[in-house]
A and B are shown apart, each in its own frame.
Chain A
Amino acid sequence: MIRIEHINKKFKKLTALKDITAQFEKGQVISLIGPNGSGKTTLIKAILGMVKADSGQIFFSDELINGDPSYRSQIGYMPQIGRYPDNMKVGQLFRMLRNIRNVTADNLDKELINKFGLKEIFEKPMRTLSGGTRQKVSAALAFLFDPDVLILDEPTAGLDPLSSEILKEKILKEKNKNKLILITSHILSDLDELTTHIMYLQEGSMEFFKAIEQLREETGELKLGKAIARIMKGEKFNSAWIDRMFEIKNEKRIY
């Protein structure tokens, strides 16, 4: 579905992506993980064509991504920080995107709009929304057009536990519809039930890209967080990041 070949990207002196090659297929849920600044978002943006790679190619359904934006009609993207026009009302935003994508009302997936109760805030301008509500809007937009590929950049960050659960259920549902889903997250316990493959990035290069079963077998751990931690300890990865991973997990237990 998506094929990445030898992608390189530098922002001035900083290397954001270093020779990344991978192939993603339908039915896979791929978790992109790695410390902050390891290039996860840059990789996603390269797939979306928002960042232009210095060298290398990306193919979407065997077609080279090269200026023609039509492939993006098959992608639902949920950004890390959803930024929307201040003066626009929530309802307008949904109507506008529908208008732009030329999709009829019957083909829309309104499940998240209903479950998050976004209908009630349709008349509110975007600037008055809290961070979490914005995330809900972003999520609902990503799923709205029932796309074949979902790209979710830290989808559960900033969501309350209930909404986060709703979103995870929705992702699981879409996974069962044989869609390709790319997720980045720092909360590994969230990814546990969803993911089929793990791609680990560190300072722009891909350290490994493995199926979860393989990872479990190699490490002997059932929990994703522990499996990753074991791999990283063995290979002397950035230990500060491992500590932070466990911190987040402990916080989660409060709920």
Chain B
Amino acid sequence: MLKLSKYVLYDIVRSKVILAYTAFLFLVSFSLFNMEENSSKAILSLLNIILIVVPLISMIFTTIHYYNSYEFIELMLSQPMSRRKILLSEYAGVGLSLLSSFLIGVGVPVLFFSPDSIGFSLLFTGCSLTLVFTSLAFLTSVMARDKARGIGFALLLWFYFALIYDGLILLILFNFSDYPLEKITLVLSALNPIDLGRISIMLKMDVSALMGYTGALYKDFFGSGAGTLFTAGIMLLWIVIPLWLALRVFKRKDL
């Protein structure tokens, strides 16, 4: 499997998209830290950018990579290689390259300017989101046969998680504001990895003081060790379940 991943990685590095992504992340984080006097303010701005950009790039890049390496996958299938191994090495190759891009582009500036618990949880969130959306993109591209549909589907999912979901939550909170919704919103946040990442970082910051009673409840939960474990566990589920589904579909697929 490692052998295969090596070739996948080699192919990705040659395409130069990943280098541009790294440079973009690095420039954004570096300039944000330089512009803001207060490093926690910079982290907040950086968080907002990461929550939008990382899922989007992870999904689009993975989808395009999958369709571009269709030939490679076909070639491997005629060799003594199991489908599971082929897909997992593709995943490892794409995931690793996106992760290292993120760790260089955002990790280095964060370690330099704000090496505290908030900085680390930002890095953790970014890394998890990268892997989560790589998994999701693998699932959608394995299911859709042609590239246009695959990318469309990926974009739709991103749109849903990044924008529509928040709107839906607001709608629910607004309509049922007479009821105690704290526990439910906790569950609802777990259903969207982007929200989960956002909340888990926001509550580590001072801004959570502005969020009233709900914020206090959240801070109580997410601030504790159990909360951290909860976040990590849910993120892991978000990585593993779509990947597992993708494997299932891929194993039965005609190529």
Contact = CB atoms under 8 A, between A and B. Distances in A.
Interface stretch (B77-85, B106-114, B153-161, B226-234): B77-85
B3 interface: yes
Interface stretch (A95-103, A171-179, A204-212, A240-248): A95-103
Given A50-B255, A51-B255, A100-B4, A84 B71 contact: yes
A75 interface: yes
Interface string B115-129: 000000000000000
B3 A100 contact: yes
A86 B76 CA distance: 15
A83 B75 contact: yes
Contacts of A69: 79-83
A52 B254 contact: yes
B14 interface: yes
Contact of B254 (A51, A75, A84): A51
Interface in A34-74: 45, 48-52, 67-73
Interface in B3-40: 3-4, 7, 11, 14-15
B78 to A, nearest CB: 4
A77 B82 contact: no
A70 B78 contact: no
Interface string B49-78: 000000000000000000011111011111
B165 to A, nearest CB: 34
Given A50-B254, A52-B254, A87-B15, A101 B74 contact: no
A48 B83 CA distance: 12
A79 B78 contact: yes
B68 A71 contact: no
A222 interface: no
A48 B77 contact: yes
A28 B8 CA distance: 38
B252 interface: yes
B252 A50 contact: no
B69 A85 contact: yes
A32 B135 CA distance: 41
A231 interface: no
Nearest to B7: A96
Contact of B77 (A49, A70, A71, A85): A49
A22 interface: no
Contact of B79 (A51, A68, A100): A100
A108 interface: no
Contact of B80 (A50, A51, A72, A85): A72
Contact of A87 (B14, B76, B251, B254): B14
A100 B78 contact: no
A161 to B, nearest CB: 27
Contact of A52 (B4, B15, B68, B252): B252
A7 to B, nearest CB: 13
Contacts of B68: 86
Given A51-B254, A71-B80, A85 B74 contact: no
Given A50-B77, A51-B255, 10 more contacts: A45-B255, A52-B254, A67-B251, A69-B83, A83-B70, A83-B74, A85-B71, A88-B11, A97-B79, A101-B80
Which 7 pairs, one residue from A and one from B, show the smallest C-beta to C-beta distance?
A83-B71, A73-B80, A77-B78, A72-B80, A51-B254, A85-B72, A87-B14
